[in-house]
Every structure is written in structure tokens, then in C-alpha cells.
Amino acid sequence: MAQTTESPETPVLPQTERASTGALLTRALRGNVRQYGMLVALALIVLLFQFWTDGILLQPLNITNLIQQNGYILILAIGMMIVIIAGHIDLSVGSLAAFVGAASAVMMVKHQVPWPVALVAALLIGALAGAWQGFWIAYIGIPSFIVTLAGMLLFRGGTQILLQGQSIAPFPTGFQKIGSGFLPQVGPATNYHNLTLLIGAAVLAVAVLQEVRGRRQAASYGLELLPIGLFAAKLAAITAAVAVFTMLLASYHGVPIVLLILGGLLVGFGYLMRNSILGRHTYAIGGNEAAAKLSGVKSKRVVFLAFVNMGVLAALAGLVFAARLNAGTPQAGINFELEAIAAAFIGGASATGGVGTVLGAIIGGLVLGVLNNGMSLVGIGTDYQQVIKGLVLLAAVGFDVYNKRKVGS
């Protein structure tokens, strides 16, 4: 009797099917403990305030406000995460955002510069500011804490000089839409925003295909996989989350413009940090700069580019904030850097560098945003809000230190 052989199309998964479901799940959670932990924390916070506010938190209007109110912090958090991964910090982003908002106001309101031209010029200002700071940090060797502290004072003073202590407004309508606009309605009149439904369906399809493709690639390399039941549950959770979020947005005015910006940044920088040489070098420098240099990594160039990128994102955040406020104001950007740093650490960054993800920065920013929004809805004062956010940040960093010591032991 002929001996049966496996079909060549069937991937051989050594030990995958024999491993217990519990062991696989435990290993998966340990590999992503901070990110999964923050996802669970975010879900619990949402459920808590949804109950505490009698359902107001997840109303379509409030979800839209939550996105638009925190969009500029999430943009800053992405750049801050990359800087922290490289082993540095940037204290100047709030002041730089204010300076760029002031410069854009002067260009558009006082000198009638077309808003698309002013937008590009503002981003270039941010890139130059980031390059200025990156030069002193990467090539001269001054600690980033000192350089960006000086930058914070410099850009805050520059903002006061540009605005002469007064707000400048209003901005052109097209520019305002960056911070408070929505995608237009298309197609037949329905109870929902049609374009948002199409975008939601596309996002869901891409997310599911990415998960399936990732599983197939892992199988082709003989890596350990989640059992099919857990994988199906993961796909179901992704589907439910995307569907609910899409329906909430579609039942109001649709997708905010700032959400499109965030989506583009998340996809672009996520790919950059996971798949590009520059991204891998950034992790290498933050993890062990001396070893990275011995391996041929051009650490000075990588650090310089990280701060240029941070400058551009700070400029973009300043533009989004100014557009939403419809004014360039001297008080813009205050404490933005603290919110961005907190979002990065809550989202999984390590104080020693070399650890973190772009998605983690978004999750950390959403944790803070939902806390702010939920506490305001239930009437908790800003004084107690600061105390609670400080404790959350301390707990997140303490959890990171605990995990490192546990792994080291």
C-alpha cells in the first residue's frame, strides 16, 4: 500500500497544532503586552464612561468632537514616538506648533497669501526648525533635552513677536476645513453618509486581508500561529470595531478631514517603521547606539531625520489646531508637548528608547483623549483631571519598568 504524502499546497506548521490554545495565547500576549494592555484599558475606559455618561460618550456628535479635539495631539504623538524610539525627547513641539500657527495666520490674514501656499510654507518652516534642532543634537552632540528646551523658549518668544500679543483671525474657509471640515456627501440621499460607508468597507477589507496575508506568511516561514478559533475571533473583533466606528461617523456628518490626515500618517509611518531600513535603524539606535554604530548604522543621520520629521509633524499639528480654532493665538500649544510625550509612553514607548509603535502612540493618545472627554462630560474639574492623567502616565511607565525587570530576571 502506497504511503500517503502531504499535498505541497498544504503548509507544514511544526508544533503549531500541537501547542495548546492557552500557551499560544499567553505567548502572543507576552510579545505585545503593552499594546494589548493599552487596547484593553482603552476599551474599559470607553465602557466606563459610556455607562457613567448615560450613553453620551459614544454619540456620533461626541465621537466626531473627540477626533477633532485630539487630532493635533495624535499627530504630535506619532512624531514624538519616533523621537523616543531613537532615544531622545522633544520639549519644543508645543511652542513650534504655536509658532507655525502664528506664521500661517500672518501669511494668510495679513498678507493674503493663498492658503495652500501658506500651508506648504508652514510645513517648510517646521522642517527647518526640526533641522536646526537636529543639527545641534546629532552632529554637535548637545543633549536633546537641552536643545529642545531652548527651542521651546525660542519658538514661544517667536510666537509672541509675530502676533504682538494678539490673536489674528479669521482664516479662509478652505483652510478651516482642515481642522473642522468633513468629506462631502455623494450619491443618493440616505440616513447615512455614503462616502463614509464606502471608506469603512474599504478599510475593513484591507484590515482583514492584511491579517490573512500575515497569517499565511507566518505559516510559510514555519512560525507559530494562533489557533484558527482565536484567529477567527480576532477577525470578528476587528470587523465589529470597524463597523461600529463607521456607522457612528456615517450617522453624523461623515469622516472628518483630520481623521483622513491621521489615517494617512498612521499607514505611512507604520510602514516606514516596520519595513524600511530607516525605521529599523531608528530602533537599533534607540536599543543600543554603540552596537548600531559598529554595525554600520549612520546614527547621526537617523537622529537628524527624526527631528526633521518631528518638526514637520509639529507644524502640521499647529496648522490643524489653528484651523480648528480659526485663529492664530499666542496661547496656542501650551502643554502640547506634555500630552504628546504622555501619549507615547502610555502607548508603549520605553524611556530608554528602542521600543514602541506608531499604532501604540495613537492608542496612548486616545486613552488620554477619552479620559479628558469622559471626565469633562461627567463634570470632573480640570484639577482632578490632571491628577488622574498623571497617575495613568506613572502607571504606564511603571508597568514598562516592571516588565523589563521581569524579563531580565
Burial tier of 250 (Cβ tally within 10 Å: 0-12, 13-18, 19+): buried
- Looking at the structure, tell me whether residues 269 and 390 fall in a common domain: yes
Is residue 44 in a domain? no
Compute the distance between CA of residue 143 and CA of residue 137 in angstroms, rounded to an integer.
6
- Looking at the structure, tell me whether residues 312 and 329 fall in a common domain: yes
- Looking at the structure, tell me whether residues 63 and 170 fall in a common domain: yes
- Looking at the structure, tell me whether residues 230 and 92 fall in a common domain: no
Least confident range of 1-15, 176-190, 303-317: 1-15
Beta strands in 175-333 (DSSP E): none
Compute the distance between CA of residue 152 and CA of residue 43 in angstroms, rounded to an integer.
35
DSSP readout, 67-129? HHHHHHHHHHHHHHHHHHHTT---S-HHHHHHHHHHHHHIIIIIS---HHHHHHHHHHHHHHH
In the chain, how many domains are there? 2
Q: Taking a C-beta distance cutoff of 8 angstroms, is the pair 371, 389 a contact?
A: yes
Q: What is the CATH number for 362?
A: 1.10.3470
Q: Taking a C-beta distance cutoff of 8 angstroms, is the pair 159, 329 a contact?
A: no
3-state secondary structure of 397: helix
Average pLDDT over residues 310-317: 97
Q: Taking a C-beta distance cutoff of 8 angstroms, is the pair 256, 65 a contact?
A: no
Residue 12 scores a pLDDT above 70: no
Residue burial 120-131, b: 16+ Cβ < 10 Å; e: rest: ebbbebbbebbb
Q: Tell me which residue range forms the domain holding 127.
A: 58-181+258-408
Torsion-angle region of 13 (φ positive above 0: left; ψ -120 to 50: alpha; else: beta): beta
Is residue 10 in a domain? no
φ, ψ at 168 (rounded to 5°)? -120, 125
Is residue 19 in a domain? no
- Looking at the structure, tell me whether residues 88 and 191 fall in a common domain: no
Which residues, in sequence order, are bridge partners of residue 256? 182
- Looking at the structure, tell me whether residues 245 and 102 fall in a common domain: no
Is residue 346 in a domain? yes
Is residue 168 in a domain? yes
Question: Taking Cα atoms as reference points, which of 162, 149, 358, 167 lies closest to residue 266?
Answer: 358
Q: Taking a C-beta distance cutoff of 8 angstroms, is the pair 130, 309 a contact?
A: yes
DSSP readout, 220-247? HTT-----HHHHHHHHHHHHHHHHHHHH
Give the domain-ending residue among 255, 272, 291. Answer: 255
Residues in the chain: 409
Compute the distance between CA of residue 98 and CA of residue 322 in angstroms, rounded to an integer.
8
- Looking at the structure, tell me whether residues 278 and 312 fall in a common domain: yes
- Looking at the structure, tell me whether residues 240 and 326 fall in a common domain: no
- Looking at the structure, tell me whether residues 82 and 140 fall in a common domain: yes
Residue 31 scores a pLDDT above 60: no
CA dihedral over 303, 307, 312, 318, signed as positive or negative: positive
Compute the distance between CA of residue 211 and CA of residue 35 in angstroms, rounded to an integer.
17
Query: Which tens digit of pLDDT belongs to each residue from 108-161?
Result: 999 999 999 999 999 999 999 999 999 999 999 999 999 999 999 999 999 999
Total-model pTM: 0.89
Compute the distance between CA of residue 133 and CA of residue 95 in angstroms, rounded to an integer.
13
- Looking at the structure, tell me whether residues 262 and 173 fall in a common domain: yes
Is residue 2 in a domain? no
Give the domain-ending residue among 200, 221, 255. Answer: 255
pLDDT on residue 408: 59
Query: Which tens digit of pLDDT belongs to each residue from 41-78?
Result: 888 899 999 999 999 999 999 999 999 999 999 999 99
Angle among Cα 378, 381, 384 to the nearest 5 degrees reads 110
Residue 245 scores a pLDDT above 80: yes
φ, ψ at 371 (rounded to 5°)? -60, -50
- Looking at the structure, tell me whether residues 308 and 171 fall in a common domain: yes
- Looking at the structure, tell me whether residues 199 and 250 fall in a common domain: yes
Is residue 198 in a domain? yes
Is residue 4 in a domain? no
